[in-house]
Structure 1
Amino acid sequence: MTSVLTQVAGSLRRRGGGADRPPDGFDRRLLAPMMLGSVLNPVNSSIISVALVPIGAAFGAPPSRTAWLISALYLATAIGQPVVGRLIDLFGPRRLFLAGTALTGLAGVVGMLAPNLWVLIGARVLLGFGTCAGYPAAMSLIRSEARRTGHDSPAGVLTALAVTTQTIAVVGPSLGGLLIGLGGWRTTLALNIPLALAGIALGLLRLPKTPLPERAEGEPRLAGLDLMGMGLFAVMLVSLLVFLMEPALGHLYLLAVVAVAAAAFAVRELHVDAPFIDLRVLGGNKPLLLTFARALLAYVVTYAFLYGYTQWLEEGRGLSASQTGLAQLPLFGTAIIVSTLTGRRPEIRGKLLAGAAGQVAACALLLVLHSASPIWLIVAVAIVVGVPQGLNSLALQNAVYHQADPERLASSAGLLRTFGYLGAIVASAANGAFFGQRAGTPGMHHLAWFMLAISVAFLVVTVVDRSLGRVGPATREIGQS
């Protein structure tokens, strides 16, 4: 994985034309820490997919319980991303990057030594919070470089970030299968230790130091931070996500908690001077809201495939963890190629339309699979899924970059990931509901119909959004924002 990041960074340096930091160009020394920090969350999101079955066997847990390994990370990250993003907006990326990367390494140690499933779930919570900083920090650095140079950052930089944030996530199953074959499922957690050490070293050496914001004498350091708003936001999300994981009549009270917390959050954010999420600005930015909605829909399908289909390959099709990882390699290769070829094109609407159509086609293909499906068909499915994987994450990221308030880009990037993780939680809940005790073919087909309906909704939301036609060629110069 690190070799892939190195090659992408090297390619960008060569295209940049020589010096690492020309006075009027993007500082390409930032690429390595940006990309490594951004890859921590997506790789940990996907690497667990091939480890769910062996972890369940080790601890005697069915798919409905091991699904919490997925949801724990997304629950922590869905809350942490906008919170850490806001902290980055206020205090700069370096401090949060280093703290988050250190927490990621600690989570790797806890997970590697976990004696039972619940400790392992706790490690995944730590991992979720630890990996929060990488992506919003990278988006903040891109924006700050644009301000420093007075020019929009190179399209290749955003492409590289898209590759490391979502596209490269599809290497997780292949990497996980390899690690499990070498040393068992615990190696998928231990991987975070060397990655965190490398991230800390790169952060210390290359990330710029930024001064702390000015404050009045005697004023607390966090005086400008909307802690109450963050707390209400967390209560709202936790209640919602716990209900989605185990929807039942006995848990309907959680929806009441969600409604009360949401109402209190809205009142708070509309009346505080420095809100955690500026609802006035966000409410007036309908294109950005539609982008968040598309992220939710797109990632329901992405993660339902990543976890549900992967589990089916092991239990329904009978492949080993290593074989399943190899079967997903074409997805990784296709996504990387698609992202690289389309990354420098400024248009966003066409990418989203093609990505939506690709998801519809991929879900339809899942309906023809069965327990004796030939390997060539499994490879074909992976290739088809790789196309929207390479298009959607890139287009959504670029849309937020151009649609968000420049002063809140990091927190807006965090919100994009939050909506994506809401989609992942919905996908995880769907996997548990359709599979139950075993990931068999009938359950996979039911899941495919659900994914197909979500894919059609994503396509419709994209078709009707005419504002996308104004994002890309006609966007403003970042340095003039």
Structure 2
Amino acid sequence: MAEGTGTQRPPASPAVTAAGFDRSLILPMVLGVVLNPVNSSMIAVALVPIGVAFGAPPAETAWLVSALYLATAVGQPVAGRLVDMVGPRPVYLVGAGLVGVAGVLGAVAPDLGVLIAARVLLGLGTCAGYPAAMSLIRGEAGSGSPTGALTVLAVAGQVVSVVGPTLGGLLTELGGWRTTFTVNVPLSLACLALGVWRLPRRERRPARLDLPGMALFAVALTALLLFLMDWRHWYLVPVTLAAGAALAVRELRVDDPFIDLRVLGGNGPLLVTFGRTLLTFAVSYSFLYGFTQWLEHGRGLSPTVAGLVLLPLFLTAITVSAITGRRVEVRGKLVVGGLTQVTGCALLLFVDGASPVWLLVLIAAVLGLPQGLNALGNQNAMYHQVEAERMGASAGLLRTFSYLGAMLAAAANGAFLGHGADTAGLHDLALVMLGAAILFLAASALDRSLRGIRGERS
């Protein structure tokens, strides 16, 4: 590969695997990727003390969560497109720098508005890690299947999501809620140092930045996400449709579009993978949000016991990802994940306020299987379904669809459990989850393109 100056990269080091992947890239990639989940999860335990500090009700502090989700969902494809154009290294470094600035801003924020702005900046900064990592993997490993590296990314995100609340609680206990922002400064510096030291320079691909396309995409997606957060804002639907239509017209007319609709429209397997990703996160987050609330309100468990009941969900997901990650085949993972997802959703229909704890633990463990298999399977499928020059943008879109699924889950929880997390509401939510799980299973079992993913691009 060529460097930005046009010179050739030095010969591969002994750390390069048989597939051509340099293992010295693992640490900076993982650190960049986990910046988003760690900040998504740490804030959970800081919301109450932040509300007390600024005299803000939960409805206002909730924007600290939503702001990061919105910024990340919009920013991921933008960061991915920039990765495709200028290479992963500069985008990774800029993103890491933004994370450090956001950490400082959050640490000195005088009011909630500035703190929300810091979370937006944090969301934009953490957008760079995943597209950059996927582009690096593809650039180093070529068209092979670096299953080890892909598995490390998936497992790292899952582990950080589990320990994030604990880390946030520890930081808040030791130094107050502002430390959950300050911690981003050393993380940023570590990313910057590793990025400068380890990440390779690559030749920039000649392309024009489609700013109007990016702006229309941002407007359409932001309006859609805001509507999903609160369905009373119905006027956002025509805004979404108008911006989406304008985006389609724009992207079909320019030579180097932000989202190449012609290529995307001709890649049916990739579109199906995006759809499965949305369904995956819609089901998993519906369960995580809804079941947790029901355990405390409908079943009457304490928060501590409810957390212990959910522990098998995360442990099973991490274990199954680690065990199956090195297997190249994707279709088997997704079909088994789909079957266990259908089973877990169906079991939810049989719980009530007197259900034994062992049954609740079993359901959590069963639904941990698809959480580990489906996200990994979709990620690996996407890796083989796109060309190298579109890897960053496609990885960003994959993450955007995951956030759309999470937003749909939040909307479903509000619709069915907004009046109270009772058993009837949980059963209604479970029926919707079951429908989505059946669609996921069908999309996996009937997708013949997945059979060709056996180590090389088909």
Band of TM-score, shorter chain: 0.7 to 0.9
User: 2:136 maps to what in 1?
Assistant: 141
Inter-CA distance 183–135: structure 2 relative to 1 (3 Å threshold):
same
Aligned-partner Cα distance in 2 for 1:258–1:252? 10
What are the residue-to-residue correspondences of 1:169-248 with 2, within 5 Å?
169-176=161-168, 179=171, 186-212=178-204, 224-248=208-232
Q: Secondary structure at the match of 1:209?
A: coil
User: 2:98 maps to what in 1?
Assistant: 103
Aligned-partner Cα distance in 1 for 2:421–2:180? 22
Task: Give yes or no for the alignment of 1:400 onto 2:395.
Answer: no
User: 2:148 maps to what in 1?
Assistant: 156
**TM-score of the superposed pair, with normalisation by structure 1:** 0.82
- Deviation, structure 1 residue 308: 3.5
Segments of 5+ residues of structure 1 without an aligned counterpart are: 1-17, 215-222, 477-481
Task: Answer with 467-476 or 122-131: which moved more.
Answer: 467-476
User: 2:286 maps to what in 1?
Assistant: 304
What are the residue-to-residue correspondences of 1:39-118 with 2, within 5 Å?
39-49=34-44, 61-62=57-58, 67-112=62-107, 114=109, 117-118=112-113
User: 2:263 maps to what in 1?
Assistant: 281
Aligned-partner Cα distance in 2 for 1:378–1:471? 36
Inter-CA distance 466–419: structure 2 relative to 1 (3 Å threshold):
same
Task: Give yes or no for the alignment of 1:124 onto 2:148.
Answer: no
Aligned-partner Cα distance in 2 for 1:184–1:111? 12
Q: What's the CA shift string for 1:167-204, capped at 9, x where partnerless?
A: 65344345445555656655544443332232222212
Over the matched positions of the two proteins, sequence identity in percent amounts to 60
Contact 1:174–1:325 (Cα < 8 Å) also in 2 = no
User: 2:3 maps to what in 1?
Assistant: none
Aligned-partner Cα distance in 2 for 1:134–1:201? 14
Inter-CA distance 256–40: structure 2 relative to 1 (3 Å threshold):
same
- Deviation, structure 1 residue 260: 1.4
Aligned-partner Cα distance in 1 for 2:437–2:45? 24
Aligned-partner Cα distance in 2 for 1:172–1:457? 31
- Deviation, structure 1 residue 420: 0.8
Aligned-partner Cα distance in 1 for 2:297–2:137? 43
- Deviation, structure 1 residue 404: 0.9
Aligned-partner Cα distance in 2 for 1:441–1:195? 42
Aligned-partner Cα distance in 2 for 1:46–1:176? 8
Task: Give yes or no for the alignment of 1:412 onto 2:412.
Answer: no
- Deviation, structure 1 residue 344: 1.5
What residue identity is the alignment partner of 2:391? L
Inter-CA distance 28–181: structure 2 relative to 1 (3 Å threshold):
same
Task: Answer with 232-241 or 123-132: which moved more.
Answer: 123-132
What residue identity is the alignment partner of 1:61? P
What are the residue-to-residue correspondences of 1:317-336 with 2, within 5 Å?
317-320=300-303, 325-336=307-318
Aligned-partner Cα distance in 2 for 1:113–1:208? 35
Q: Secondary structure at the match of 1:400?
A: helix
User: 1:28 maps to what in 2?
Assistant: 23
Q: Secondary structure at the match of 1:273?
A: coil
Q: Secondary structure at the match of 2:189?
A: helix
- Deviation, structure 1 residue 40: 1.5
Segments of 5+ residues of structure 2 without an aligned counterpart are: 1-12
Q: CA RMSD in A?
A: 3.0
What residue identity is the alignment partner of 2:192? I
User: 1:459 maps to what in 2?
Assistant: 441
Aligned-partner Cα distance in 2 for 1:226–1:31? 31
Contact 1:328–1:382 (Cα < 8 Å) also in 2 = yes
What residue identity is the alignment partner of 1:234? A
Aligned-partner Cα distance in 2 for 1:289–1:154? 23
Aligned-partner Cα distance in 1 for 2:116–2:368? 29
Partner residue of 2:333 out of 351, 372, 381: 351
Aligned-partner Cα distance in 2 for 1:159–1:405? 20
Partner residue of 1:429 out of 411, 417, 424: 411
Inter-CA distance 23–448: structure 2 relative to 1 (3 Å threshold):
closer
Contact 1:43–1:168 (Cα < 8 Å) also in 2 = yes
Aligned-partner Cα distance in 2 for 1:441–1:106? 45
Inter-CA distance 53–472: structure 2 relative to 1 (3 Å threshold):
farther
Inter-CA distance 346–206: structure 2 relative to 1 (3 Å threshold):
same
What residue identity is the alignment partner of 1:207? L
Task: Answer with 156-165 or 204-213: which moved more.
Answer: 204-213
Equivalent residues, number: 444
Q: Secondary structure at the match of 1:262?
A: helix
- Deviation, structure 1 residue 330: 2.7
- Deviation, structure 1 residue 387: 0.9
Inter-CA distance 284–22: structure 2 relative to 1 (3 Å threshold):
closer
What residue identity is the alignment partner of 2:442? V
